[in-house]
């Protein structure tokens, strides 16, 4: 009914304007013509344009139009595209978003194609391919890349403090006294009078350089903030992953870790949450305001791009389990269920997920491709640029990663956990207050 109203009004307006509305001719066959592909990271645009060209060379009857739009606009315009039926045939997909798309039947299942074309999901790094299988057991994406967490640190400030690269690579942590991680952070902290954080007379209210930088409270995931610590305690975000139905923010193990984390602020070793709303943590790092920054591998380019700042990359500390831990997140390419050229789209997605394209991506040294051999090439490409990224890749090699928590209601969970974690990290509430938030979160799944 609604549609009709709009339709007739449209017709009326068209008549008034004496326009001849020209519908786009969409009679092309399903396996031919131009398909649209979207991604958000502009740094990867050259690589994927190259892939598109190579792909057209191999499949002369298909061309790929690559469109890039920034993260902030990406999801809004994509949703509008879903509603209007104008979404791109293929697009870069995120784990935090795709459960919602599955629920609303916006994604094309790839199982038949993957079986028919013998796509080897074993070529991808362990676990990545499984991330993109929905609760219904169907596959909704082919992995394109992955990321882990490591510690970026300012080598000059560390050396000044007598902290060596070897020490940085061998940190330990526990939630009780923080282990050598906390000792190092304390030692790297310097107040206005030049007194270090572990020395007598340290003025925690006038800190010049913080030992550890802070991006934010981490909301419910703490991907770069605290998950590399909580992951070593045996704690997991959800009862199972993927598709957990119950969150564990009420676990004392977790709350203990968060109390330690928030305590760093109180001790003056980490900036107050309220002071971190503004310039990115990386920029304040470059300005010499903090020495260690835990951050994701997608930020390598940013951290190594500053002039006059020497950056070292150390693995995350060994924790309670005696091992390191890093959240393991991956992107994939998905196909829009409303595509008019499913066959061409599938060909393109398979090409994106193939060694041919992922090697091209690897050569640009921006991210780690999903295919194991391509990821190795990326490590080499980074090395050629003078950046040692083993701190990121060793987590995968050693099997110390855990998967990004995938669950329904991601946005609603975030809506509850963001304010709750903000309150804790800013010292306005104890970590035990997260129990109440956890109840709210779990109520979403009832």
Among positions 5, 26, 27, 118, the unique one binding other proteins when judged by CB under 8 A:
5
d(CA 145, CA 395): 15
Q: Which helix (H) or strand (E) holds 384?
A: helix 372-384
Stretch that binds other proteins, among 102-110, 125-133, 160-168, 175-183 (CB under 8 A): 102-110
Contacts (CB under 8 A) with other proteins, residues 401-440: 411-412, 414-415, 418-419, 422-423, 426, 428
Among positions 134, 141, 271, 319, the unique one binding other proteins when judged by CB under 8 A:
271
Minimum distance of other proteins from residue 399's CB (angstroms): 26
DSSP-derived letter for residue 306 is -
Q: How many CB atoms lie within 10 A of CB 428?
A: 11
Per-residue binding letters, 209-248, with other proteins (x by CB under 8 A): ------x--------x------------------------
Minimum distance of other proteins from residue 299's CB (angstroms): 7
Minimum distance of other proteins from residue 310's CB (angstroms): 12
Minimum distance of other proteins from residue 2's CB (angstroms): 7
Per-residue binding letters, 358-397, with other proteins (x by CB under 8 A): ----------------------------------------
Query: What are 52's two structure tokens?
Result: 């598109």
DSSP-derived letter for residue 196 is B
d(CA 55, CA 385): 27
List the beta bridge partners of residue 93: 332
Residue 272 binds other proteins, judged by CB under 8 A: yes
Contacts of 129 (CB under 8 A, 6+ apart): 121, 122, 139, 142, 143
Contacts (CB under 8 A) with other proteins, residues 30-59: 40-46
Stretch that binds other proteins, among 253-261, 281-289, 321-329, 432-440 (CB under 8 A): 281-289
Minimum distance of other proteins from residue 283's CB (angstroms): 4
Residue 79 binds other proteins, judged by CB under 8 A: yes
Among positions 295, 339, 401, 442, the unique one binding other proteins when judged by CB under 8 A:
295
Stretch that binds other proteins, among 127-135, 249-257, 275-283, 313-321 (CB under 8 A): 275-283
Per-residue binding letters, 108-147, with other proteins (x by CB under 8 A): ----------------------------------------
d(CA 30, CA 289): 55
Cα 349 to chain centroid distance, Å, stands at 20
What is the three-class DSSP state of 171?
A: coil
Q: Strands 62-68 and 33-39: what pairing?
A: parallel
List the beta bridge partners of residue 209: 190
What is the three-class DSSP state of 21?
A: coil
Contacts (CB under 8 A) with other proteins, residues 150-209: none
Stretch that binds other proteins, among 53-61, 130-138, 272-280, 346-354 (CB under 8 A): 272-280
Residue 99 binds other proteins, judged by CB under 8 A: no
Among positions 250, 267, 306, 363, the unique one binding other proteins when judged by CB under 8 A:
306
d(CA 157, CA 189): 10
- Give the count of residues interacting with other proteins (CB under 8 A): 84
Q: What angle do CA 437, 439, 444 make, to 5 degrees?
A: 100
By beta-carbon proximity to other proteins, the closer residue of 95 and 320 is 95
Q: Using alpha carbons, select from 334, 378, 384 the residue that is nearest to residue 355.
A: 378
Q: Using alpha carbons, select from 369, 387, 268, 260 the residue that is nearest to residue 317.
A: 260
By beta-carbon proximity to other proteins, the closer residue of 180 and 440 is 440
Cα 225 to chain centroid distance, Å, stands at 12
């Amino acid at each position: 009914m609604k549609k009709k109203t709009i339709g007739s009004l449209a017709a009326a307006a068209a008549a008034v304007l004496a326009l001849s509305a020209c519908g786009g001719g969409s009679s092309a066959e399903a396996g031919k013509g131009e398909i649209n592909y979207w991604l958000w990271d502009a740094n990867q645009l050259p690589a994927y344009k190259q892939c598109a060209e190579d792909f057209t060379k191999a499949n002369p009857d298909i061309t790929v139009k690559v469109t890039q739009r920034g993260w902030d606009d990406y999801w809004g315009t994509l949703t509008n595209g879903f509603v209007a039926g104008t979404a791109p045939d293929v697009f870069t997909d995120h784990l935090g978003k795709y459960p919602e798309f599955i629920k609303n039947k916006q994604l094309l299942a790839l199982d038949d194609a993957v079986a028919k074309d013998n796509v080897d999901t074993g070529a991808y790094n362990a676990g990545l391919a499984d991330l993109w299988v929905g609760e219904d057991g169907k596959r909704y994406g082919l992995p394109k890349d992955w990321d882990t967490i490591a510690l970026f640190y300012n080598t000059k400030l560390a050396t000044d403090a007598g902290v060596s690269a070897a020490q940085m690579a061998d940190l330990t942590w526990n939630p009780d006294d923080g282990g050598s991680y906390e000792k190092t952070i304390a030692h790297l902290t310097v107040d206005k009078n030049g007194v270090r954080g572990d020395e007598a007379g340290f003025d925690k209210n006038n800190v010049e350089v913080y030992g550890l930088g802070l991006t934010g409270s981490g909301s419910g995931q703490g991907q770069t903030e605290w998950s590399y610590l909580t992951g070593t305690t045996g704690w997991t975000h959800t009862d199972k992953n993927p598709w957990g139905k119950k969150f564990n923010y009420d676990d004392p193990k977790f709350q203990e870790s968060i109390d330690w984390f928030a305590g760093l602020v109180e001790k003056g070793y980490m900036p107050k949450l309220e002071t971190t709303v503004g310039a990115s943590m990386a920029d304040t790092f470059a300005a010499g305001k903090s020495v260690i920054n835990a951050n994701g591998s997608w930020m390598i380019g940013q951290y190594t791009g500053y002039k006059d700042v020497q950056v070292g990359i150390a693995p995350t500390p060994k924790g309670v389990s005696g091992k390191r831990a890093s959240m393991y997140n991956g992107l994939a390419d998905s196909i829009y269920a409303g595509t008019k050229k499913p066959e061409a789209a599938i060909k393109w997605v398979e090409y994106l997920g193939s060694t041919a394209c992922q090697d091209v991506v690897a050569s640009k040294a921006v991210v780690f491709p999903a295919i194991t051999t391509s990821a190795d090439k990326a490590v080499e490409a980074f090395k050629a640029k003078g950046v040692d990224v083993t701190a990121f890749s060793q987590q995968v090699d050693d099997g110390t990663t855990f998967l990004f928590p995938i669950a329904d209601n991601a946005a609603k969970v975030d809506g509850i956990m963001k304010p709750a974690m903000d309150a804790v990290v800013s010292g306005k509430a104890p970590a035990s207050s997260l129990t109440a938030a956890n109840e709210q979160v779990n109520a979403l799944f009832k």
